[in-house]
Amino acid sequence: MDPLVERAKRGDREAMAELVRRNYDAVYRFCARRVGLEPAKDMAQETFLTACRSLRRYEGRSSFEVWLLGIAHNLCRRSLRSSAPVNVEAAWRTEPDTEESWIDRRVLVEALRGLSAEHLEAVLLHEVEGLTYEEAAQVLGVPTGTVKSRLHHAFARLRSSLQAQGVNR
């Protein structure tokens, strides 16, 4: 386990402050992709408050960042239950379309809207956040095979949707 995490677990406030500094941007971006920019500030703060309260239970089975993203995921999911679903346009941040782009961003966003929440979350974790299958499974609290299955079905659905919109690649 990371020595900084060990120190924070023993109550070292400076160590916890450093963990927050190291991980805040990743947690904020993760939350912003799910709940929007403004609510993400509160959600990121709540993530770290929850982590501080739960730190003694962190066993190091996953990286500290993945553990934090799991907390953020659960908080965002709870928040979204009481409001609107994931904003796909905010979630799928891509570079502006260029003439060389083989797919228009609007077409992609429309195809992503057709995914179930579970499939969209798997795509976001793996393709946008860059998590491995195992890390995505830890964040979602599901087996690795479930993440692979969700991605397989999500990509099949995306292919079908994009072909229906005339994108042939």
Contact assessment for residue 139 and residue 66, using Cβ atoms and an 8 Å cutoff: yes
Q: Tell me which of 84, 112, 136 is where a domain ends.
A: 84
Nearest to 63 by CA among 8, 5, 14: 5
User: b/e for 20-50, b at 16 or more Cβ within 10 A?
Assistant: beebeeebbebbbbbbbeebbeebbebbbee
Instruction: Give residue-wise pLDDT tens across range 25-40.
Output: 999 999 998 888 889 9
Instruction: Give residue-wise pLDDT tens across range 67-120.
Output: 999 999 999 988 877 555 555 555 555 444 444 455 677 888 888 889 998 999
Give the chain's radius of gyration (CA, Å). 17
Q: Decide: residue 14, CB within 10 A, 0-12 exposed, 13-18 middle, 19+ buried.
A: exposed
Overall number of domains in the chain: 2
Compute the distance between CA of residue 22 and CA of residue 14 in angstroms, rounded to an integer.
12
Tokens of 17: 């402050």
Tokens of 128: 């946008």
Give the CATH number for residue 95.
Answer: 1.10.10.10
Contact assessment for residue 86 and residue 117, using Cβ atoms and an 8 Å cutoff: yes
Nearest to 54 by CA among 98, 16, 85: 16
Compute the distance between CA of residue 138 and CA of residue 136 in angstroms, rounded to an integer.
5
Instruction: Write out the residue range of the structural domain in which residue 33 sits.
Output: 1-84
Residue that wins the pLDDT comparison between 49 and 113: 49
**Pair (94, 168) in one structural domain:** yes
**Pair (103, 41) in one structural domain:** no
What is the pLDDT at residue 59?
A: 92
**Which contacts of 139-146 are long-range, i.e. CB under 8 A and separated by 24 or more positions?**
139/66, 139/69, 139/70, 139/73, 140/70, 140/73, 141/70
Contact assessment for residue 57 and residue 1, using Cβ atoms and an 8 Å cutoff: no
**Pair (69, 4) in one structural domain:** yes
